Amino acid sequence: MAYEFTVTGRISRPVHEVFEAVADPGQLSEFFTTGGAKGRLETGATVTWDFHDFPGAFPVRVVEVVPDEKIVLRWGAAPDDDPAGTCETTVTMRFEALEDGRTLVSIHEAGWRETPAGQKASYGNCEGWTGMFFAMKGWLEHGLHLRHGTYI
Protein backbone atom coordinates (compact mmCIF):
# COMPACT_ATOMS: atom_id res chain seq x y z
CA MET A 1 0.00 0.00 0.00
CA ALA A 2 1.44 3.37 -1.00
CA TYR A 3 1.44 6.08 1.63
CA GLU A 4 -0.19 9.29 0.45
CA PHE A 5 -2.80 11.77 1.61
CA THR A 6 -4.74 14.87 0.58
CA VAL A 7 -5.65 17.84 2.78
CA THR A 8 -8.44 20.05 1.43
CA GLY A 9 -10.20 23.18 2.65
CA ARG A 10 -11.56 26.58 1.69
CA ILE A 11 -10.07 30.00 2.37
CA SER A 12 -12.19 33.15 2.16
CA ARG A 13 -9.84 35.01 -0.17
CA PRO A 14 -9.47 35.22 -3.97
CA VAL A 15 -7.37 32.52 -5.62
CA HIS A 16 -4.51 34.88 -6.53
CA GLU A 17 -4.04 35.98 -2.90
CA VAL A 18 -4.02 32.37 -1.68
CA PHE A 19 -1.60 31.26 -4.40
CA GLU A 20 0.76 34.16 -3.65
CA ALA A 21 0.72 33.35 0.07
CA VAL A 22 2.47 30.07 -0.83
CA ALA A 23 4.62 31.18 -3.80
CA ASP A 24 6.04 34.32 -2.13
CA PRO A 25 8.72 33.44 0.46
CA GLY A 26 7.97 36.56 2.53
CA GLN A 27 4.34 35.59 2.96
CA LEU A 28 5.10 31.89 3.48
CA SER A 29 7.46 32.87 6.31
CA GLU A 30 4.62 34.72 8.04
CA PHE A 31 2.47 31.64 8.62
CA PHE A 32 4.38 28.42 7.82
CA THR A 33 8.18 28.44 7.57
CA THR A 34 8.85 29.84 11.04
CA GLY A 35 12.61 29.86 10.37
CA GLY A 36 12.10 31.53 7.01
CA ALA A 37 11.70 30.68 3.35
CA LYS A 38 14.25 31.67 0.72
CA GLY A 39 13.35 31.80 -2.95
CA ARG A 40 10.12 32.25 -4.84
CA LEU A 41 8.34 29.10 -5.98
CA GLU A 42 8.94 29.08 -9.74
CA THR A 43 9.29 26.11 -12.10
CA GLY A 44 12.83 24.72 -11.98
CA ALA A 45 13.93 26.59 -8.84
CA THR A 46 15.34 25.06 -5.70
CA VAL A 47 14.32 27.02 -2.62
CA THR A 48 14.90 26.48 1.10
CA TRP A 49 12.40 26.25 3.92
CA ASP A 50 13.42 26.41 7.57
CA PHE A 51 11.25 25.59 10.58
CA HIS A 52 12.08 26.39 14.23
CA ASP A 53 10.68 23.00 15.27
CA PHE A 54 12.87 21.15 12.69
CA PRO A 55 16.05 23.29 12.58
CA GLY A 56 18.06 23.37 9.41
CA ALA A 57 17.01 24.60 6.01
CA PHE A 58 15.27 22.01 3.83
CA PRO A 59 15.91 22.15 0.08
CA VAL A 60 12.66 22.12 -1.90
CA ARG A 61 12.75 21.48 -5.65
CA VAL A 62 10.01 23.23 -7.59
CA VAL A 63 8.86 20.89 -10.35
CA GLU A 64 5.98 22.89 -11.82
CA VAL A 65 4.13 26.13 -11.18
CA VAL A 66 0.95 27.18 -12.95
CA PRO A 67 0.08 30.61 -11.52
CA ASP A 68 -3.13 30.66 -9.48
CA GLU A 69 -3.70 26.94 -10.20
CA LYS A 70 -0.95 24.54 -9.16
CA ILE A 71 2.43 24.13 -7.44
CA VAL A 72 4.33 20.82 -7.56
CA LEU A 73 7.30 20.32 -5.21
CA ARG A 74 9.74 17.52 -4.39
CA TRP A 75 11.67 17.21 -1.16
CA GLY A 76 13.49 14.62 0.90
CA ALA A 77 11.60 12.12 3.02
CA ALA A 78 12.07 12.12 6.79
CA PRO A 79 15.54 10.76 7.79
CA ASP A 80 14.02 7.77 9.63
CA ASP A 81 12.30 6.75 6.39
CA ASP A 82 15.45 7.09 4.29
CA PRO A 83 18.74 7.57 6.17
CA ALA A 84 20.61 7.66 2.85
CA GLY A 85 18.56 10.67 1.71
CA THR A 86 17.61 9.14 -1.62
CA CYS A 87 13.81 9.11 -1.23
CA GLU A 88 11.82 12.19 -2.16
CA THR A 89 8.11 12.83 -1.86
CA THR A 90 6.00 14.87 -4.26
CA VAL A 91 3.69 17.60 -2.98
CA THR A 92 1.00 18.91 -5.31
CA MET A 93 -0.94 21.99 -4.24
CA ARG A 94 -4.00 22.98 -6.24
CA PHE A 95 -5.87 26.27 -6.01
CA GLU A 96 -9.41 26.57 -7.38
CA ALA A 97 -11.41 29.79 -7.51
CA LEU A 98 -14.94 29.21 -6.24
CA GLU A 99 -18.02 31.10 -7.42
CA ASP A 100 -18.50 32.70 -4.00
CA GLY A 101 -15.02 34.33 -4.08
CA ARG A 102 -13.34 31.76 -1.84
CA THR A 103 -10.49 29.46 -2.86
CA LEU A 104 -10.48 25.68 -2.58
CA VAL A 105 -6.98 24.49 -1.60
CA SER A 106 -5.90 20.88 -2.02
CA ILE A 107 -2.51 19.61 -0.80
CA HIS A 108 -1.53 16.07 -1.85
CA GLU A 109 1.72 14.33 -0.87
CA ALA A 110 2.94 10.90 -1.96
CA GLY A 111 6.11 8.87 -2.38
CA TRP A 112 7.18 7.42 0.96
CA ARG A 113 8.69 3.97 1.15
CA GLU A 114 6.26 1.24 2.17
CA THR A 115 7.89 0.69 5.56
CA PRO A 116 6.82 1.43 9.14
CA ALA A 117 9.11 4.50 9.05
CA GLY A 118 7.53 5.62 5.77
CA GLN A 119 4.06 5.29 7.26
CA LYS A 120 5.10 7.29 10.34
CA ALA A 121 6.69 9.99 8.17
CA SER A 122 3.57 10.26 5.99
CA TYR A 123 1.36 10.71 9.06
CA GLY A 124 3.70 13.41 10.38
CA ASN A 125 3.60 15.29 7.09
CA CYS A 126 -0.19 14.98 6.91
CA GLU A 127 -0.30 16.67 10.33
CA GLY A 128 2.15 19.30 9.07
CA TRP A 129 0.19 20.16 5.92
CA THR A 130 -3.06 20.28 7.88
CA GLY A 131 -1.41 22.73 10.25
CA MET A 132 -0.04 24.71 7.30
CA PHE A 133 -3.49 24.97 5.74
CA PHE A 134 -5.10 26.28 8.94
CA ALA A 135 -2.17 28.63 9.63
CA MET A 136 -2.57 30.00 6.09
CA LYS A 137 -6.32 30.40 6.59
CA GLY A 138 -5.75 32.23 9.89
CA TRP A 139 -3.10 34.47 8.33
CA LEU A 140 -5.03 35.35 5.17
CA GLU A 141 -8.46 35.76 6.75
CA HIS A 142 -7.52 37.31 10.11
CA GLY A 143 -3.80 38.24 10.14
CA LEU A 144 -3.09 35.62 12.83
CA HIS A 145 0.22 33.79 13.34
CA LEU A 146 -1.17 30.41 14.40
CA ARG A 147 2.02 28.38 13.91
CA HIS A 148 4.28 30.60 16.04
CA GLY A 149 4.85 28.88 19.37
CA THR A 150 2.68 25.88 18.49
CA TYR A 151 5.43 23.30 18.10
CA ILE A 152 8.23 24.64 20.32
Residue 33: the pLDDT is 92
Mean pLDDT score, 43-48: 98
Q: What is the pLDDT of residue 122?
A: 93
Torsion region of 46: left, alpha or beta (phi above 0 gives left; psi -120 to 50 gives alpha): beta
Q: What is the set of domains in the chain, with CATH numbers?
A: 13-142 (3.30.530.20)
**What is the spatial order of strands in the sheet that 4-11 belongs to?**
4-11, 103-110, 88-97, 70-76, 54-66, 46-51, 36-38
The whole-number pLDDT of residue 73 equals: 98
pLDDT bracket for residue 1 (50, 70, 90): low
- What average pLDDT does this structure show over 43-67? 92
State percent of the chain over pLDDT 70.
92
